[in-house]
C-alpha cells in the first residue's frame, strides 16, 4: 500500500463583514483558521482503530471550546472516536476540548473508506476535509476466554485464546503478550503462566496460528484487568481486554452419617456423605481407612481402603460392608482438587456382629389377667425383655390392643419385642373391665310422704343414674303397697337394673294419717348475701300452722348452717311436728358471695437506691373481707427488669387475687437507681 508524505492542507476562510452607516463602508477584521493533518490517505486494518492527528491554527488567538467537529462517512462503514471520547453519531457536532486532536477511525468494511470531517468556529464558519482510509483485512482475530471467569487465590484458571485466521498466506507468524490495565507491574495481582512457567508482562512470545491456552494464577482478592495483544510479522496488532475476579480459596465442610449403628457381617450399611461448599466450587476426592476388614460401594463401584474415590458436592450415598465381627471405625477424608488443597475428615462407627437366630425373651410384669371396675384407671404393668446378644435399649417393644375403661368387656393386649436381627417374641395379657357398681336412684319430693286418709296419693318422681349406662330413669320399676284408706306406714319401692345386671333400689316411706300434715311458710328475706368478715346471718324465720293444732310456729326447729364469713351455698332447714307425729320440713337456700376486692397498701410509693446495691422491697399491707393475706402473697410485676447496676427510673406493679377471683387495684411503686 502506497504511503504519502506529510503535507499541510491550508484552508483559508475569508469573511467580509459589511457594516453600512451613513452610506459609509469599512472593512472588518478577517479571522482565518487552518487545519493541519499528518495525512489524508491512510492505510488501516479491519476493526482496528487508526489515528490521524488534526491541529487547528489561526492568525488570531482562539480559546478551547471555540471549535466543534462532526463527521460523515460517505463511502464504506465504521466508527469515529476523538481521543478518549466515546464513539459518537455522524453529522452530530461535538465540542473540541483541544486545538490538537486525534481522530480514530475503525473500519468495519474492507476497501476504500471515505470520511468528511468538518470543523466550525464560534461564528459558524466551517472547514471540511476529506480523509481516505484504505482498510485491509489483517487476516486474523482472536478472543481470550477465562475458564471459569473467576479464580481464587492460589488457584489457576485457563486462559483459552481462540485464534481466527482468515489470511491464506503461510508465511505470516504471530506473537502474543499481555499487560495489566492501569498498572505498570503485575506483582501481587496475579501471574500469567505458559505450561506452568511465569510470563513477564509486555513480553512477546511466539504463538501458533491456532487456538492455544495459557493460565492465570490470582494472588490477591478483587478484579484483575489485563490487555492481551496479538501481532503478526506484518505489524498488525489486535488488543483484547480481559477482567478476572479473584476470590478466596475454595473451602467446604464434610459430614458422614451412617443410617444404622449395628449390622450383621457381610451386610451393607448406608452412609450419607454431605459436602457443603462454603467458599467457591471445586472437585473432590475421597478415601478412607477402616479399623477392621471391609469395603465401600460408591456409584456402583467397590473401593478398598486407600482407594481414591471421585465424589460430588452436596449429598451422596455409599454402602459399607464389614466382614469382621468387631467394632469398625471408618475414617473418611475428602480433599478438594486445588492448587492449595483443603482436607476435611469424618468418622463413622459401626458394630458388626454374627447372625442371630435366637428370639428375645419377653415376660409379663404382674398378672396375665387383670380385672378392673368400669371407670377405674388401667395402669399397664408392662413387660420385661432380654436378649442373648442385644442390649435392652436396642430392643424394640410394640404394643397392640387398648382398653376402654368405660365399656365392660374382655380385652387383649399383645406385647411384641424384636431384636436387631428381626427375631421376635410376644406375650398377651387379658384385661377384664367389669361393672359391679349399682345404679343410683334418687327420690324426688318428700320422704316420708304424709297424706290424709281417703285422699288421692300423687307419687313424686324418681331418677336413676348408672356409672356405665347413664340415665336409666325410664327403666325404673315402682312397687306400691300403700292402702290409702287405712291409717298406717307403708313403702314404695323403686327398682332399676343396668346392663351388667346390677340392681339399684330406693324406698320411699308413706304415712297415711287422719289429717293433713302441718304447713310451714317461709318469711320473706333475701337469698343472696355478700361475705363479711366476722358477720352474723340473721334469719327472717318462718311460720307453721296445722289444720287441727292451729298455730304451731313456736314448735319450729331451725337448723342454720349459714356462715357469712365463708362464700358458698347454705341451707336453713325448718322442721315442725304436729300432735299426730306428722313431721314436715322446709328449706331456705342461702347464697353467700364474695365480690369485694382485696386492698393492697404500699408502705412507700417511691424512693431512691444507690447503683450496685441490692433491692429490698419495703413491703406494705393487704386486707380482704374474707381471706387472710400477708404482703408476701402479693404478686410484684417488673422485678425481672429492675437492674440496680444501671441508673434510671423503674416501675414495680403490685397486685393480688383473692380466692373468689376478685383482683385488687394495681398499686405502683417507683424506684430510682442513682449513681
The string of DSSP letters for 114-141 reads: EEEEEEE-TT--EEEEEEEEEEE--SEE
Give the per-residue pLDDT at 23.
Answer: 31
Give the per-residue pLDDT at 24.
Answer: 35
pLDDT tops 80 at residue 186: no
Strand duo 369-373 + 424-434: pairing: parallel
Q: How far is CA 182 from CA 104, 178, 188, in A?
A: 21, 13, 14
* 278-315 pLDDT, tens digit each: 887 889 999 999 999 999 999 999 999 999 999 999 99
Give the per-residue pLDDT at 572.
Answer: 93
Q: What is the mean pLDDT of the chain?
A: 87
pLDDT tops 90 at residue 601: yes
pLDDT tops 50 at residue 276: yes
Domain ranges within the chain, ordered by starting residue: 18-136, 140-247, 251-353, 361-434, 440-513, 519-593, 599-674
Class of domain 251-353: mainly beta
* 259-269 pLDDT, tens digit each: 998 888 899 99
The CATH architecture of the domain made up of 18-136 is Sandwich (2.60)
CA–CA–CA angle 206, 207, 211 (5° rounding): 180
Give the per-residue pLDDT at 25.
Answer: 32
> 397, 424 in Cβ contact below 8 A?
no
Average pLDDT over residues 13-23: 28
Look-up of cell digits 409379663? 364
Structure confidence at residue 585 as a pLDDT band (50, 70, 90):
very high
Q: Give domain 361-434's CATH number out of 1.20.120.1200, 3.40.120.10, 2.30.30.30, 2.60.40.10.
A: 2.60.40.10
Give the per-residue pLDDT at 154.
Answer: 75
List all residues 6 or more positions away from 543 whose beta carbon is below 8 Å from its beta carbon.
520, 521, 523, 551, 553, 556
Strand duo 667-674 + 606-610: pairing: parallel
Rounded to whole angstroms, the Cα distance separating 282 from 52 reads 50
> 95, 83 in Cβ contact below 8 A?
no
Q: How far is CA 104 from CA 33, 70, 135, 224, 229, in A?
A: 22, 13, 13, 27, 19
Percentage of the residues of the chain whose pLDDT score is greater than 70: 93
pLDDT tops 90 at residue 445: no
Average pLDDT over residues 550-567: 91
> 273, 254 in Cβ contact below 8 A?
yes
Q: Is 18-136's fold the same as 599-674's? A: yes
* More confident call, 19 vs 471: 471
pLDDT tops 60 at residue 7: no
Percentage of the residues of the chain whose pLDDT score is greater than 90: 55
Rounded to whole angstroms, the Cα distance separating 323 from 320 reads 10
Grid coordinates representing 457?
Answer: 296419693
Rounded to whole angstroms, the Cα distance separating 407 from 378 reads 13
pLDDT tops 70 at residue 12: no
> 636, 620 in Cβ contact below 8 A?
no
pLDDT tops 90 at residue 668: yes
Structure confidence at residue 101 as a pLDDT band (50, 70, 90):
confident
Rounded to whole angstroms, the Cα distance separating 141 from 164 reads 5
Look-up of cell digits 419377653? 362
39-48, 68-77, 211-220, range with greatest mean pLDDT = 68-77
The CATH architecture of the domain made up of 519-593 is Sandwich (2.60)
Average pLDDT over residues 351-377: 91
Average pLDDT over residues 138-151: 85
Grid coordinates representing 349?
Answer: 462407627
Tell me how crowded residue 190 is: count the other CB atoms within 10 A of its CB: 21
Structure confidence at residue 457 as a pLDDT band (50, 70, 90):
confident
Look-up of cell digits 503478550? 177
* 381-435 pLDDT, tens digit each: 999 999 988 889 999 999 999 999 999 999 999 999 999 888 999 999 999 999 9
pLDDT tops 60 at residue 112: yes
pLDDT tops 70 at residue 642: yes
Give the per-residue pLDDT at 465.
Answer: 95
**Which of these, 573, 640, 629, lies nearest to 598 by C-alpha position?**
629
* More confident call, 86 vs 650: 650
Rounded to whole angstroms, the Cα distance separating 228 from 223 reads 16
Grid coordinates representing 107?
Answer: 473500519
**Model's pTM, two decimal places?**
0.35
Ranges assigned E (strand) in 459-515: 462-466, 470-471, 477-480, 488-497, 503-513
For the domain 140-247, what is the CATH superfamily, name and number?
Answer: Uncharacterised protein PF12988, DUF3872 (2.60.40.2410)
Average pLDDT over residues 609-616: 92
Give the per-residue pLDDT at 34.
Answer: 84
Give the per-residue pLDDT at 9.
Answer: 31
Average pLDDT over residues 85-98: 85
Average pLDDT over residues 188-193: 83
Class of domain 440-513: mainly beta
Structure confidence at residue 31 as a pLDDT band (50, 70, 90):
low
**Which of these, 49, 69, 66, lies nearest to 127 by C-alpha position?**
69
For the domain 599-674, what is the CATH superfamily, name and number?
Answer: Immunoglobulins (2.60.40.10)
* 488-519 pLDDT, tens digit each: 889 999 999 999 999 999 999 988 877 778 99
DSSP state of 475: G
Average pLDDT over residues 548-564: 90
pLDDT tops 70 at residue 15: no
**SS3 label, residue 594:** coil
pLDDT tops 90 at residue 337: no
**Which of these, 523, 515, 585, 595, lies nearest to 550 by C-alpha position?**
515
Tell me how crowded residue 497 is: count the other CB atoms within 10 A of its CB: 18
Amino acid at each position: 500500500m502506497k504511503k504519502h508524505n506529510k503535507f499541510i492542507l491550508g484552508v483559508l476562510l475569508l469573511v467580509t463583514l459589511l457594516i453600512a452607516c451613513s452610506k459609509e463602508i469599512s472593512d472588518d477584521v478577517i479571522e482565518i483558521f487552518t487545519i493541519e493533518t499528518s495525512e489524508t490517505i491512510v492505510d488501516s486494518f479491519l476493526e482496528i482503530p487508526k489515528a490521524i492527528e488534526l491541529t487547528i491554527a489561526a492568525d488570531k488567538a482562539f480559546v478551547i471550546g471555540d471549535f466543534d467537529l462532526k463527521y460523515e462517512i460517505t463511502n464504506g462503514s465504521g466508527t469515529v472516536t476523538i481521543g478518549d471520547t466515546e464513539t459518537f453519531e455522524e453529522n452530530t457536532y461535538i465540542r473540541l476540548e483541544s486545538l490538537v486532536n486525534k481522530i480514530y477511525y475503525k473500519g468495519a468494511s474492507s476497501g476504500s473508506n471515505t470520511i468528511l470531517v468538518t470543523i466550525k468556529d464560534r461564528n459558524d464558519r466551517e472547514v471540511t476535509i476529506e480523509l481516505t482510509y484504505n482498510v485491509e483485512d489483517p487476516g486474523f482475530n482472536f478472543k481470550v476466554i477465562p475458564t471459569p471467569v473467576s479464580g481464587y487465590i492460589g488457584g489457576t484458571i485457563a486462559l483459552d485464546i481462540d485464534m481466527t485466521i482468515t489470511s491464506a498466506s503461510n508465511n505470516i507468524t504471530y506473537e502474543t503478550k499481555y499487560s495489566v490495565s492501569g498498572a505498570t507491574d503485575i506483582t501481587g495481582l496475579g501471574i500469567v503462566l505458559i505450561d506452568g512457567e511465569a510470563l513477564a508482562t509486555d513480553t512477546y512470545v511466539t504463538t501458533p496460528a491456532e487456538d492455544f491456552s495459557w493460565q492465570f494464577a490470582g494472588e490477591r482478592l478483587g478484579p484483575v484487568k489485563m490487555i492481551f495483544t496479538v501481532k503478526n510479522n506484518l505489524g498488525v496488532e489486535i488488543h483484547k481486554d480481559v477482567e478476572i475476579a479473584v476470590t478466596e480459596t475454595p473451602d467446604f465442610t464434610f459430614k458422614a452419617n451412617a443410617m444404622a449403628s449395628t449390622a450383621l457381617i457381610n451386610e451393607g450399611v448406608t452412609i450419607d456423605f454431605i459436602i457443603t461448599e462454603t467458599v467457591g466450587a471445586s472437585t473432590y476426592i475421597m478415601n478412607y481407612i477402616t479399623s477392621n476388614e471391609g469395603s465401600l460401594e460408591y456409584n456402583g463401584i467397590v473401593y478398598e481402603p486407600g482407594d481414591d474415590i471421585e465424589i460430588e458436592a452436596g449429598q451422596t450415598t455409599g454402602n459399607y460392608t464389614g466382614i469382621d465381627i468387631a467394632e469398625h471405625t471408618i475414617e473418611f477424608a475428602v480433599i478438594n482438587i486445588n492448587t492449595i488443597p483443603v482436607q476435611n475428615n469424618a468418622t463413622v462407627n459401626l458394630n458388626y456382629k454374627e447372625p442371630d437366630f435366637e428370639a428375645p425373651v419377653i415376660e409379663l410384669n404382674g398378672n396375665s389377667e387383670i380385672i378392673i371396675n368400669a371407670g377405674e384407671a388401667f395402669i399397664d404393668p408392662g413387660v420385661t425383655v432380654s436378649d442373648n446378644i442385644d442390649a435392652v435399649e436396642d430392643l424394640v417393644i410394640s404394643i397392640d390392643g387398648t382398653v376402654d375403661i368405660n365399656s365392660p368387656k374382655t380385652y387383649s393386649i399383645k406385647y411384641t419385642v424384636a431384636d436387631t436381627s428381626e427375631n421376635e417374641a410376644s406375650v398377651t395379657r387379658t384385661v377384664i373391665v367389669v361393672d359391679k357398681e349399682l345404679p343410683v336412684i334418687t327420690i324426688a319430693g318428700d320422704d316420708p310422704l304424709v297424706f290424709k286418709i281417703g285422699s288421692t296419693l300423687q307419687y313424686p318422681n324418681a331418677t336413676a343414674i348408672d356409672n356405665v349406662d347413664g340415665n336409666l330413669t325410664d327403666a325404673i320399676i315402682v312397687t306400691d303397697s300403700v292402702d290409702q284408706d287405712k291409717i298406717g306406714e307403708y313403702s314404695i319401692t323403686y327398682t332399676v337394673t343396668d346392663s351388667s345386671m346390677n340392681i339399684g333400689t330406693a324406698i320411699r316411706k308413706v304415712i297415711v294419717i287422719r289429717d293433713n300434715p302441718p304447713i310451714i311458710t317461709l318469711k320473706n328475706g333475701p337469698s343472696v348475701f355478700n361475705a363479711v368478715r366476722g358477720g352474723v346471718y340473721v334469719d327472717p324465720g318462718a311460720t307453721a300452722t296445722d289444720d287441727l293444732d292451729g298455730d304451731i310456729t313456736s314448735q319450729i326447729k331451725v337448723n342454720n348452717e349459714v356462715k357469712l364469713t365463708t362464700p358458698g351455698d347454705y341451707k336453713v332447714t325448718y322442721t315442725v311436728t304436729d300432735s299426730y307425729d306428722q313431721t314436715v320440713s322446709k328449706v331456705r337456700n342461702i347464697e353467700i358471695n364474695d365480690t369485694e376486692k382485696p386492698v393492697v397498701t404500699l408502705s412507700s410509693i417511691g424512693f431512691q437506691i444507690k447503683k450496685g446495691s441490692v433491692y429490698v422491697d419495703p413491703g406494705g399491707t393487704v386486707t380482704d373481707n374474707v381471706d387472710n393475706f400477708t404482703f408476701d402473697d402479693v404478686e410484684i410485676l417488673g422485678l425481672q427488669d429492675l437492674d440496680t447496676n444501671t441508673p434510671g427510673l423503674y416501675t414495680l406493679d403490685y397486685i393480688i387475687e383473692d380466692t373468689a377471683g376478685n383482683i385488687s387495684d394495681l398499686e405502683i411503686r417507683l424506684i430510682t437507681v442513682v449513681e
